[in-house]
Amino acid sequence: MYGYGGRASAFRPPAYPATLALSLALFGNSLIPIRTFQIALFLIMTASYVAVATGSFGPLAGVLTGWMFAIYPLFVFLSSEVATESLYMALEAVIFFLCVRTLITPYGRRQRAKTPLVVGVCCGVGTLTRPSMIFVFILALAAWGDVREGQNARSTLRAWPSFCLAVSV
């Protein structure tokens, strides 16, 4: 059902087949909702990278990033192909956006715990999509430690448990 030429696109990824099963149960035996979901994931991925480029380098970089994503052949192919990569790349883009935003923008006390929680959930679902996402989790955790090192140890210790709890869920 999913993958390239009838082959699975990843080795036993439970998250994406569960998403497909939910779509088939809700909307019937049609690929239109699944392909629409694929396009929505592509738009989430593109919007995340455009936001990072615009925030870091200005509006021209954001426009160029959006155009490059729109015409890059692999992304065009993956937005229409039923495969785990679209979900994985969208989750990874959201994680990248939140990590860059955290590295650049200081947060209030409430947002410190919420952002690692969202990143942790994205890493957890991403790990269920592709097991290699666990390495993204480790890198994000290390980045959070480096950022929080400049503030104080208490803020780092408050962020890590919510981050780890979200991944384990």
* Entry pTM: 0.72
CB-based contacts of 74, cutoff 8 Å, min separation 6: none
**pLDDT tens for the chain, residues 1 to 169:** 455 565 655 556 788 888 888 888 998 888 888 888 888 989 999 999 999 899 888 999 999 999 998 898 888 887 777 778 888 888 888 888 887 777 666 555 555 667 777 777 887 888 788 777 777 777 666 666 655 555 554 455 555 555 555 555 4
Distance CA 27, CA 162 (A): 35
3-state SS, residue 150: coil
Q: b/e per residue, 78-98, with b = 16+ CB within 10 A?
A: bbeebbbbbbbbbbbbbbbbb
CB-based contacts of 1, cutoff 8 Å, min separation 6: 17, 20, 82
